[in-house]
Chain A
Amino acid sequence: MTIQPLLEIKDLYARVAAPGGREILKGVNLTINAGEVHAIMGKNGSGKSTLAQVLAGREAYEVTGGSVRYKGQDLLELSAEERAREGIFLAFQYPVEIPGVSTSYFLKAAVNAVRKHRGEPELQTKDFINLVKDKMKLLHMDPSFMNRAINEGFSGGEKKRNEIFQMAVMNPTLALMDETDSGLDVDALKTVAEGAASLRRDDNAILVVTHYERLLQYIVPDIVHIMLDGKILMTGDKALAAKVDTQGYDWVDRQARQVG
């Protein structure tokens, strides 16, 4: 019996959606099964964040070739909100501030959008409060977060914590964590990473996009990929991440030249 992969990316090409837009993804191949944690590492500009955003359905990028299948369906056919309702969650590298919309109100709307899509009854305020209570403890969040406008006036660390808190509440099938470690001090990193790691299950998967290895000490990946110039150059286990940590990315460039 073959198990259907959760996510299957084949020869994916994408460019900036503008006249003469730069090509960023140049033939990405990647398969993720349920229960796995993958890490994509790479230098700035390698295309790793773009990959996460293309998967989330950001219209700033245009897919020019290849295919993506998610839970057996054509992911590229789905709008950003349909993907979210199907369980894809992007933890943003730069979470957006939205004045005037309280975090609690927004999150309730989001949870209910997903529930509605699944044919489940909407959560009333009381049930919603019960749902978020535990998750707030997990992320060491002050309850006052909930009454504040989304990310408005939050510090960099607070914004990242808010992302993972939302991820915990939304309980995604495929979580895309885009540079979640950037801008975090050691304590905040530990809180955020442990929170994310606690969401690992047999029936979901996490894709961690990161420049550094330190986040991966808490969310230990099953498979590590290194991306360069819009392609996955090599794939290994967590030892690959350790090598990046000690040797940087220069050897990756050298190896790429040898291969090329």
Chain B
Amino acid sequence: MIEIIQTPPLNTVQDLGRFGYRRYGIGCAGAMDRVALAAGNLALGNDANLAGMEFQLFPVKIRFDCDIAIAITGADCAPTLDGRSLPPWWVVNVKAGQVLTLTSPMSGMRSYLAVAGGIDVPMVLGSRSTQSRDGFGGFSGRPLRAGDQLPTVPGAALQFRDSFGLGIQPPDAVLKGGYHSWAGQCDVILRVIPASEYEQFDDASLHAFKTASWTVTVQSNRMGYRLAGPSLQRTTPTEMRSQGIVAGVIQVPPSGEPIIQLSDGNSAGGYPKIAIVIQSDLWRLAQAAPGRSLRFSQVSLDEARTARAEQSKYLQDVARLSSYCRFSKAHS
């Protein structure tokens, strides 16, 4: 059992998402930074898709009621365990009664806590993710509150050989990401594939889309990010029919300022779509705080495939390297 002692609203239990229920209009939900959650799980010897906690508001205080191995990944939230400071991207054994404290990250947006065996909330419609807007999944279908007691899997405590813990190499150290000739040092580059209405935009808008930078506004959350930047316009604005949409879609409402739909976004919509962020870059967006500048870099499906292969190799390496540092399940 894990007890939430303190949490602001909007922190939730998530796995890698809910698929197979779009016929009801149910979107994917799931961790915004899927790479961080998957890496935490794999470092613990879990399946990548087990449920963990996503923290996007701080401070958070958690007490563990059992011995258990945990992984803290995502944005560096200066974790402390009983007051002892832990490095970011860290795996460690905790003892029953210990208290973990997480504070607002200096950079990045979302931190993840994975535990050996996963957070044992019920599987609802094929996933343990919180479907906040429909009120099911995760922990009681809602964000976490102080006093919540989250079930863990009995006997899942894996003992790491070194009680000090084990580091995980963060993905930004390994995954190079896209290239944009105009990008500054701090710009987040998102690789995109043109979407169905791309060709309807006028030349000036397409040029701006490829070259300009967009700022993440404060109207950005798990549903989607609203961006500020040059206005994008179609040559002939027409009414659209409503269609299914995916996380990462860059929609352009008549105001001309793009919206990127994300994990808790609409599953359908009728705004024109200029492009779609490749799945391998959604974690970069998940960590882009309001004020960060984004640039879009158009890539081919081949390049997107290479990016997926790199990401999958990174995650395999996380799993392999951490496996050397664990006692085998039989031994523990």
Instruction: Verify that A and B bind, or say they do not.
Output: no
Query: A residues near B, CB below 8 A?
Result: none
State the B residues within 8 Å of A (CB). none
